[in-house]
Structure 1
Amino acid sequence: MVNQHLILFDLDGTLAPLSRPIPETALIAIKALQDQGHIICIASGKPLYYLTGLCRQAGLRFVWLIGENGATLQKDVALPPRERLRLPISAAAVAACEQIRKDAVATFGDHIWFQPNEVAVTIFFDTAETQQAIREWLDIKENWLSENQLIIFPHNDSFDISPAHIDKGKAILKLLDYLGIDQKRSIAVGDTWNDVPMFEVCAEAIAIAFPEAKMATHHVADLDSAFDCIKTLL
């Protein structure tokens, strides 16, 4: 397909409300884009196993998945995956992630739990008080995190802690190269700070209710408006 685009969607807050399924209207719109020959990718802080199950339940096939904010990539929902890509991750970064996980357990005990990631550390909390305590704890560890090249993406329900050289933008560049698609034919849709690297590398960036994203080329109020915007760009 001459005009084939790679169209990328964040999951939580973008394709679906937090902890809710993808709406039927969004699934219909995605499948329509696929029928036109475009490649769909879901890029999330969630691990690949979660995204795989979500897409299976939603009936989404032939999609690319980017998990853990860029650390892991795979094609489609088959397990083992048909095609799989990885960004290079140093042993030092892996060790630092393991250390921050151990420190969090020692500090917060049963008040937290972890998303079962392959690389990054995602900390969930039980109460707003624990959330604030984690935020303050991470502030105290700011220098250590910087020295060990870890970056934090705070969310309403969790904190993602990832190697600083891993993000959605770098994963997208790797995927574009692998697929042989020109960067000029890439569109990203997102709603929060861990989507900024997507916005920075894609030719068109659609921010949903995220006015702070100054680098976005388009700002819309909701997902339906984002799909309308995509139609005008293709």
Structure 2
Amino acid sequence: MMVNENARQAALPPPASRIKLVVSDMDGTLLTPEKQVTHHSIAAIKALNEAGVPVCLVSSRPPNGMEMYFEVLGIDTPYGALNGGTIFNADRTIRSQLSLDPEAVQEALDMLKVHHIDAWLFRGHEWLVENETGAYVEPEKRAIHMQPHIVSSFAGSLNGIGKITGSSADYEALERQELEIGSLLEGRASVARSSSWFLDITPSDANKGHALRQLAAFYGISPSEVACIGDMNNDIPMLKLAGLAIAMGQATDHVRSHAHFVTDSNDHDGWAKAMEQLVLPRVEKPTSDKTAPEATTPHGA
């Protein structure tokens, strides 16, 4: 970890002693690398529900790709799709939504095209794709159980866009474009990678910190009473606001530096361990017969 990251972590306020809401990322966090949910995580959500603590999800996914998990998770709460730019009510109706300025959309598309990065547009429940044979289209269709709308050109589809995703197997190119497009659209868009192969461009206020505020307000509580957990750069805005910030074990040092604690990775039940060892003790009295997986380590350990 670099010195400035050590300093950032050292400057964090103490973690909250009382938690009333959990706001969680999905991919790389709640979901395993195979996009599954473990029985330990389901049990942890049930325990949180029984303790009166709702679990809300915020993801860069479109709404369809989130809703497909709700039944197995046993949740019926508001959620933030498209990196938090669109907030949905529990009945799946839109509560609020933000969209990119069409000029910013065009500038981002031009940059992605120059660097040979496939671009996708998301608007409400629509997923728009120009290159149907792009490397990540088929995997994404399977991952979110959604079919894209294939268009010959994005020219007539620049209004009402909630998210642009750049997809590429050239991870270094995406990392560079995170900085370049971020600089180009500074003040007009939020630009962050949601995975090594996806770069998400959303309205400037459409980040997971915005979603946290919206969800906390829905429940009438302060962000300081919210526990947040994530693994990528696009999770940092909510980690910075949360009363209890938790990074996944596979997160980079940069992401970890914004967290009070680091749990195990998403292929070793890190999400369930974080809920059982860090969150539940802050919402209910531990009982002598409660067992939990080994693991969470204080940040910096």
Tell me, yes or no, whether TM beats 0.5.
yes
Give the alignment of 1:169-208 within 5 angstroms.
169-208=209-248
| Counterpart pick for 1:84 among 70, 91, 94 | 94
1:233 paired with 2:282, answer yes
The change in CA–CA distance for 1:19 and 1:123 in structure 2 (over 3 A counts) is farther
1:36 paired with 2:40, answer no
The change in CA–CA distance for 1:198 and 1:217 in structure 2 (over 3 A counts) is same
Identify which of structures 1 and 2 has the higher relative contact order when contacts are C-alpha pairs closer than 8 Å and 6+ apart: 2
The answer to whether the 8 Å contact 2:29/2:248 transfers is yes
Which SS does the other structure have where 2:31 is aligned?
A: coil
| Counterpart pick for 1:70 among 73, 84, 105 | 84
Partner Cα distance (1:208, 1:31) in 2: 21
Partner Cα distance (2:105, 2:175) in 1: 17
The superposition leaves residues 11-64 of structure 1 with CA deviations (integer Å, 9 ceiling, x where unpaired) of 1111112341111210111022112211110111111121012223x2523122
The change in CA–CA distance for 1:20 and 1:113 in structure 2 (over 3 A counts) is closer
Name structure 2 gaps, 5 residues minimum: 1-17, 118-130, 141-147, 149-159, 265-269, 284-301
The change in CA–CA distance for 1:150 and 1:22 in structure 2 (over 3 A counts) is same
| Counterpart pick for 2:260 among 193, 217, 220 | 217
> Percent identical across equivalent pairs?
20
Shift in Å at residue 224 of structure 1? 3.2
Shift in Å at residue 194 of structure 1? 1.1
Shift in Å at residue 180 of structure 1? 1.0
Shift in Å at residue 137 of structure 1? 5.6
Give the alignment of 1:14-163 within 5 angstroms.
14-56=29-71, 58-76=72-90, 78=91, 81=92, 84-89=94-99, 92=101, 94-101=102-109, 104=112, 107-108=116-117, 110-111=133-134, 119-125=162-168, 128=169, 130-136=170-176, 141=181, 143-146=183-186, 148-153=188-193, 155-163=195-203
Which SS does the other structure have where 1:216 is aligned?
A: coil
Shift in Å at residue 230 of structure 1? 0.9
Q: Which residue of 1 aligns with 2:122?
A: none
The change in CA–CA distance for 1:167 and 1:142 in structure 2 (over 3 A counts) is closer
Partner Cα distance (1:30, 1:204) in 2: 17
Partner Cα distance (1:89, 1:118) in 2: 5
Shift in Å at residue 72 of structure 1? 1.0
Q: How many residues align?
A: 222
The change in CA–CA distance for 1:145 and 1:38 in structure 2 (over 3 A counts) is same
Partner Cα distance (1:85, 1:215) in 2: 29
Name structure 1 gaps, 5 residues minimum: none
Partner Cα distance (2:180, 2:262) in 1: 35
Which SS does the other structure have where 1:14 is aligned?
A: helix
Shift in Å at residue 182 of structure 1? 2.7
Q: Which has the larger radius of gyration?
A: 2
Partner Cα distance (1:194, 1:46) in 2: 12
Shift in Å at residue 149 of structure 1? 3.5
Which SS does the other structure have where 1:161 is aligned?
A: strand
The superposition leaves residues 126-159 of structure 1 with CA deviations (integer Å, 9 ceiling, x where unpaired) of xx3x444455566665643337544232522322
Q: Which residue of 1 aligns with 2:204?
A: 164
Once structures 1 and 2 are overlaid, which stretch shifts more, 183-192 or 42-51? 183-192
The change in CA–CA distance for 1:140 and 1:24 in structure 2 (over 3 A counts) is same
